[in-house]
Amino acid sequence: MLLDRFKDKIVVISGASSGIGREMALQLARHGARVVLGARREEELRRVAEECAGRGGQAAYRRTDISREEDARALAELAVERFGGIDVLINNAGFTMYSPFEELRDLSVAERIMRVNFLGSVYLTYYALPHLKKSRGRLVAVSSLTGKTGVPTRSLYAASKHAMAGFFDSLRIELKKHGVSVTVLYPGFVKTPIRENALGPDGKPLGSSHIDEGSAMEVEEAVRRMLEAVARRKRELVMGARARLGLWLKLIAPSLVDRMAERSVSSGKT
């Protein structure tokens, strides 16, 4: 199996306490990886680490606020201290928002989203990079389809994901000579708690999903596809035929894609 390529690899995952990050840790552990987990919720991290050990992997974890440079450095250092290096870095931590920009009542949302979604990836990548160069490893960014095209009510989230795309696309060119691959993942609608934790106009979590979760992809299937792309060292993975069609249409009929995005939000499909 493709995921057997991760056997004995040292994999650092941010945002590993739930959702995509948690499922990545579990699937990698099942295939013999040594995972290093970071997230803000320490008790949830501990449970994920125990689940990983129960599936045959080795796990270390550290409470990590990825928006703090010192926390990002400490997570990378934990991987080196515990297992001796870093083979794969998965920048997964992030959160979203749900509000038309003009209705925002707390502009600190902009800084908070950029610090976690973008700067958190910059910090962790910076401190992991010397070790990835030694291992000729894999650098991964979990973005979103909003990193490819704008989506109403997600303006700041889309901005942070566009920033990630530019950063990692640039690094791909810089790191080619060092044998480090860069894979950017663009998942669509996946069943995770991210929408329940989305910030509303007042800057506080909504506490519940505002869209129809029935049409979302199961997280197990989404993560399997993502990890297979990472195993192959693919440049990027845009998930879903509809999403790929939309990106093709954007080249020839961008206003049509704008209307599609608007309808999707209005109907609760994204």
Query: What does the pLDDT look like over 85-123, one tens digit per residue?
Result: 999 999 999 988 888 999 999 999 999 999 999 999 999
Partner residues linked to 129 by β-bridges = none
Q: Are 245 and 145 in contact (CB under 8 A)?
A: no
The pLDDT tens digits for 33-83 are 999 999 999 999 999 999 999 999 999 999 999 999 999 999 999 999 999
Residue 223: which CATH number? 3.40.50.720
Whether residue 258 lies inside any domain: the answer is no
- Quote the domain boundaries for residue 17: 2-240
Sorting pLDDT into bands at 50, 70 and 90, what band is 179? very high
Whether residue 260 lies inside any domain: the answer is no
Whether residue 256 lies inside any domain: the answer is no
The pLDDT tens digits for 192-210 are 666 567 788 887 877 655 5
SS3 210: coil
Q: Read off the pTM.
A: 0.89
Across the range 166-193, mean pLDDT stands at: 92
Across the range 168-175, mean pLDDT stands at: 98
Whether residue 25 lies inside any domain: the answer is yes
User: HSE on the CB side for 116, CA within 13 Å?
Assistant: 20
Instruction: State the pLDDT at residue 200.
Output: 83
Whether residue 55 lies inside any domain: the answer is yes
CA separation for the pair 43, 268 (Å, rounded): 33
Q: Which amino acid is at 229?
A: A
The residue written with tokens 């979590």 in the block is 205
CA separation for the pair 13, 78 (Å, rounded): 12
CB count, 10 Å around CB of 201?
18
Q: Are 170 and 182 in contact (CB under 8 A)?
A: no
Sorting pLDDT into bands at 50, 70 and 90, what band is 225? very high
More confident residue, 96 or 258: 96
User: How many domains are there within the chain?
Assistant: 1
Partner residues linked to 58 by β-bridges = 34
Instruction: State the pLDDT at residue 120.
Output: 98
Whether residue 139 lies inside any domain: the answer is yes
Q: Which of 123, 127, 157, 186 is catalytic?
A: 157
Integer CA distances (angstroms), 222 to 82, 111, 243, in order: 29, 29, 14
Whether residue 250 lies inside any domain: the answer is no
The pLDDT tens digits for 18-28 are 999 999 999 99
Tokens describing residue 198: 């989305």
157 in active site: yes
Whether residue 255 lies inside any domain: the answer is no
Q: Which residues are CB-neighbours of 216 under 8 A, at least 6 positions away?
A: 189, 190, 191
